[in-house]
Structures are given as structure tokens and as C-alpha cells.
């Protein structure tokens, strides 16, 4: 599942619907803060299950209550695709639920 590479207009539209997300080193990037390590880990597991169903997996790093996320689609040369936006929106939905 390669996804569709976003052009600059599509990318700006996507960012406007993703509060707190930015482009960092050519990837969609956000840092999430949680109340505790178990809460952060639980969020990662829930997101991970969804990512697996998409066949699209995040680059992320967890340190205690913080999760740093970078999203890019490797199959299209590490560019930002519609799959990255879809996964970012799911992350937001799970975080805010």
C-alpha cells in the first residue's frame, strides 16, 4: 500500500486539519505528552493495532510520558502521503478520546 504523495497544497490542507502537527525533516511530526508511562504505552498499542490494519507504520520514540511521532511513506521515497495523514488523524482521534 504505497499511498499518494501529497503536493504542497494538499500538504497545507492536511496540516490545517491536524492541530500541533508540523513538517520536520520532510516528515509529519508531533510530540504527544501523557499523564504517565502506562497511558503513553496504551496509546501506542491502540495506534499500533490500527496502523497494522492499514499496513502503514509510524516511526516513533517513547520516553516515559512522551511519544515523538514521525510519519512518512517509505514506498514513495520517504515522502508524506495520504496514508500518513490518515494515520495522523487516527492518532488524534485516539488521543482525544
pTM above 0.85, yes or no: yes
Kindly report, residue by residue over 30-63, the tens digit of the pLDDT.
999 999 999 999 999 999 999 999 999 999 999 9
Helix or strand run (H / E) with residue 94: helix 82-95
68 band by pLDDT with thresholds 50, 70 and 90: very high
pLDDT of residue 59: 97
Helix or strand run (H / E) with residue 57: none
Nearest to 32 by CA among 78, 72, 88: 88
Location of C-alpha cell 500538504: 11
Residue 1 has pLDDT above 60, yes or no: no
C-alpha to C-alpha distance for 54 and 48, rounded to whole angstroms: 10
The burial class, CB within 10 Å (0-12 / 13-18 / 19+), for 94 is middle
Residue 17, φ and ψ in degrees, nearest 5: -100, 5
Amino acid at each position: 500500500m504505497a499511498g499518494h504523495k501529497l503536493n504542497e497544497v494538499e500538504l497545507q490542507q492536511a496540516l490545517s486539519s491536524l492541530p500541533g502537527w508540523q513538517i520536520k525533516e520532510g516528515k509529519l511530526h508531533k510530540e504527544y505528552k501523557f499523564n504517565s508511562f502506562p497511558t503513553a504505552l496504551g496509546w501506542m498499542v491502540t495506534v499500533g493495532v490500527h496502523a497494522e490494519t492499514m499496513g502503514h507504520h509510524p516511526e516513533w520514540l517513547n520516553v516515559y510520558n512522551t511519544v515523538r511521532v514521525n510519519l512518512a511513506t517509505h514506498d514513495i521515497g520517504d515522502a508524506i502521503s495520504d496514508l500518513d495523514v490518515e494515520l495522523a488523524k487516527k492518532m488524534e482521534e485516539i488521543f482525544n478520546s
